[in-house]
C-alpha cells in the first residue's frame, strides 16, 4: 500500500509540474505583468492583447485552416434564397454541409401527367452566377407513373431559377449589411 501511495503521489506531482509548465508557457514564462503597460479598461486590454497575438477569441478556436467555415444555414444568403424560391416544392433531401438541395417530384393541378424535380448544388457561398449547379428533371407519363419519359434540365427554367435565386440572395445580403451598420 505504501508503494501505491508513492506512485499516486509521484503521478500527481508530475502532472502538477506539467500543467504548471504549460500555464507558464502561455504567459511567456512571466508571472504577472507590468500594470503600467496595460490599459485600465478591460475592453481596451482585450483589444490590445488580441492585436499583439496574446489570447484568443472563442470563435477563432473552432476555425481550422484545413477545415471549412461552419455557419448556420440561415446566415448564408444564397442558401436562404434557394429555399425561399423553391418553397412551394416538397423537399426530399436538404444537406447544408454537403451543399445540396433535392426536391421531390412536383406537379401542378393542370398537368397531372407531368412533374418536375430540382437539384441545386452549391459550389461556393459567394453570390455569383457560377455558384449554383442547378438541374431540373421533367417526368412526363402517359398514364399515372406508367410509361414515363425523363428529360434532363430545361435550360430556360434553369436560367430563370438561377436568376431569381441570385436576385433574392443579393437582397438578403444587402439587408444583412444594413442591419450590421445599424448595430454599429
Average pLDDT over residues 86-91: 92
Mean pLDDT of the chain: 77
* Domain, as residue range, for 45: 2-61
pTM for this predicted structure: 0.57
My answer on whether 95 and 171 are in the same domain is yes
Tell whether 116 is covered by a domain.
yes
In the structure, what pLDDT confidence band is assigned to residue 141 with cuts at 50, 70 and 90?
A: confident
What is the count of structural domains for the chain? Answer: 2
My answer on whether 32 and 86 are in the same domain is no
Average pLDDT over residues 54-69: 51
My answer on whether 138 and 82 are in the same domain is yes
My answer on whether 55 and 93 are in the same domain is no
My answer on whether 168 and 101 are in the same domain is yes
Q: Could you read off the pLDDT of 106-117 as tens digits, one per residue?
A: 988 888 788 889
Sign of CA dihedral 50, 56, 59, 60: positive
My answer on whether 57 and 86 are in the same domain is no
Q: Which residues pair with 116 in a beta bridge?
A: 106, 138
Tell whether 86 is covered by a domain.
yes
My answer on whether 87 and 130 are in the same domain is yes
Amino acid at each position: 500500500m505504501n508503494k501505491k501511495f508513492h506512485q499516486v503521489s509521484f503521478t500527481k506531482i508530475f502532472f502538477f509540474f506539467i500543467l504548471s509548465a504549460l500555464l507558464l508557457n502561455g504567459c511567456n514564462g512571466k508571472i504577472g505583468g507590468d500594470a503600467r503597460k496595460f490599459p485600465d479598461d478591460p475592453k481596451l486590454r482585450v483589444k490590445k492583447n488580441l492585436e499583439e497575438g496574446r489570447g484568443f477569441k472563442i470563435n477563432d478556436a473552432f476555425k481550422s485552416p484545413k477545415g471549412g467555415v461552419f455557419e448556420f444555414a440561415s446566415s448564408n444568403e444564397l442558401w436562404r434564397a434557394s429555399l425561399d424560391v423553391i418553397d412551394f416544392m416538397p423537399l426530399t433531401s436538404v444537406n447544408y454541409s454537403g451543399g445540396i438541395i433535392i426536391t421531390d417530384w412536383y406537379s401542378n393541378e393542370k398537368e397531372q401527367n407531368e412533374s418536375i424535380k430540382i437539384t441545386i448544388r452549391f459550389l461556393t457561398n459567394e453570390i455569383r452566377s457560377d455558384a449554383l449547379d442547378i438541374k431540373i428533371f421533367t417526368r412526363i407519363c402517359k398514364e399515372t407513373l406508367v410509361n414515363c419519359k425523363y428529360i434532363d434540365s430545361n435550360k430556360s427554367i434553369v436560367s430563370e431559377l438561377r436568376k431569381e435565386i441570385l436576385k433574392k440572395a443579393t437582397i438578403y445580403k444587402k439587408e444583412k449589411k444594413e442591419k450590421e451598420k445599424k448595430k454599429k
